[in-house]
Structure 1
Amino acid sequence: MIEVQGITKSFEGLQVLKGVDLRVDAGEIVSIVGPSGAGKTTLLQIMGTLDRPDSGRVSFDGEDPLSMNASRLARFRNRNVGFVFQFHQLLPEFTLLENVAMPALIGGRKRSDAFAAARRLVDYLGLSQRMDHRPSELSGGERQRAAVARALVNDPMAVLADEPSGSLDSRNRAELHRLFFDLRRDFGQTFVIVTHDENLAADTDRRIMMADGMITSIETK
């Protein structure tokens, strides 16, 4: 479904990615692990079309989004890729429900449809009693579950998560990890997760080890 081929990337003369090839199939949960500076986040950003490689190709079901102009690429990304970051990145002036609906509204969906989709996800994630609260009124676990709901509201091809549980305590971390697998079971969702959490990585379908800008090994569960 998502495939990167021959991806290279340098910053200020430092080569961060050195010809990375990776394919992620629909319904997979894949983790990318490795030491800091290995190139994990850079690879995730290129996979999600947030950044462009110096060379190589990114494809989604055979379509090359990086060949698109900026406006078309933004629309493609909005429809097809959901993002979850270590720090939730919720907009503080909006309620939980408004934050979840935001990508659908940006994508041009009718307001009623966008909020209906957001409510369904908020209900699924057990946040119905918190939907009118602003991020400052939510716990860390609630904020991160809201961020997951926001990533899912447009029913993307894949959710790309960068250290999604890195700021959570052990209980909330375990709940978030279970949620990824529940979402795969119930919605067929695909996840690519950059993580330092070995417990999460051990549970994923494939564990991609990176070091020095290269994939060094792939372990299949």
Structure 2
Amino acid sequence: MIRVLVVDDQFLIRAGLTGLLDAAPGFEVVGQAGDGEEAVRLAARTRPDVILMDIRMPGMSGIEAIERILAGAGGPLPRVLVLTTFDLDEYVYGALRAGASGFLLKNSGPERLLAAVTAVQGGDALFAPSVTRRLVEAFVRQVRSAPAATPPSALGMLTSRETEVLKLIAHGLSNLEIADRLSISEATVKTHLNRTMTKLNLGSRTQAVVLAYESGLVTPGG
């Protein structure tokens, strides 16, 4: 059973998402929040597996809520799936930095919603690799003039295989696709990724993707 917290300042959207999730087998909505402050409180109390998080809300934004939830979580961290209209604004980029695990278009159909929640709960970054590439490349173009959060020299801690896996993750490949590409097991891919995230002090797979672009390991369109 995947336990989900729904966060959106629009009642009809919250109600629609809640109704869909509760009607689907294998999902349980453990709470609804209309703003960031309520989301932080409910996340601490209900300890959901996945949080569907709106970004633009009155008061505390979704980005700040993500940061507080992940910083204050005890035990396994919840996966945060950002609800977005996908207009590629700075709020979405901020969610990447805050540690969001994935992105869901607000006009997505029911099957895609359920698949997205399942994917991030299972450890995948985004439910559609094409979204990963389009979003991150736009993000990198916008912040290219800013100092990188992690300098390229930090990547020197990685082994050649870990670097190779990080590159493929940044290109939007799933663990299974990477395993096929490198002729290794999916479990080995996960091991390389976990070691990479530990060495670079990263909290999510999505942050690893951003770092790969910001550091120049992977270039937009490359």
Instruction: Flag whether TM exceeds 0.5 (same fold).
Output: no
Range class of TM-score, shorter chain: under 0.3
Which one has the bigger strand percentage? 1
TM-score by length of 1: 0.28
TM-score by length of 2: 0.28
Which one has the bigger helix percentage? 2
User: Taking CA–CA contacts closer than 8 Å with sequence separation of 6 or more, which of the two structures ends up with the larger relative contact order?
Assistant: 1
